[in-house]
Amino acid sequence: MALYMKKYQNKVHDSKMYGKWYWKSRSLKTIGTRQIAAEITKKNTVTTPDVMAVLYSLGEILNEKLTSGYSVKLDGIGTFRTTVCSAPAEEKDKLLANSEYVKAARVRFTPEMEHDMATGAVRNRMLAGITFANIDDYAYDPKSKPTPPEP
């Protein structure tokens, strides 16, 4: 299980880090609901259409709960919550909800963390066992259906 990365150079001229090189993660491709449902079906006794129905319902319920002011915690996955991007106001009384100051609403996801009581370490459960690989070392054609190499 590798996280594929690509080298990139900071090209922002007024940045203190201009010209420095960094890693950026790159996905091989996006896995869709049907593929996820098929994989869940392999590990359970439910059918792929049943799993797809549950996943679509989950999306609808997340929307309903998040837009009603709730955070949503899914055990084994993590927590979804809303955040807003706001422009500053000179005075508190001028900062009104649904005003020109509210620029965007976003969904923030925080993955569930695992605590190792023996060492005190905290790990992201979704990234357990991850390794890192340079995507340039992997023959990757974004238009094909790649099969990632075995770790």
The pLDDT-based confidence of 70 (bands split at 50, 70, 90) is: very high
- pTM: predicted TM-score of the whole model, two decimal places: 0.72
3-state SS track over the chain? CEEEEEEEECCCCCCCCCCCEEEEECCCCCCCHHHHHHHHHHCCCCCHHHHHHHHHHHHHHHHHHHCCCCCEEECCCEEEEEEEEECCCCCHHHCCCCCCCEEEEEEEEEECEEECCCCCCEEEHHHCCCEEEEHHHCCCCCCCCCCCCCC
Average pLDDT, the chain: 86
pLDDT of 49 above 90: yes
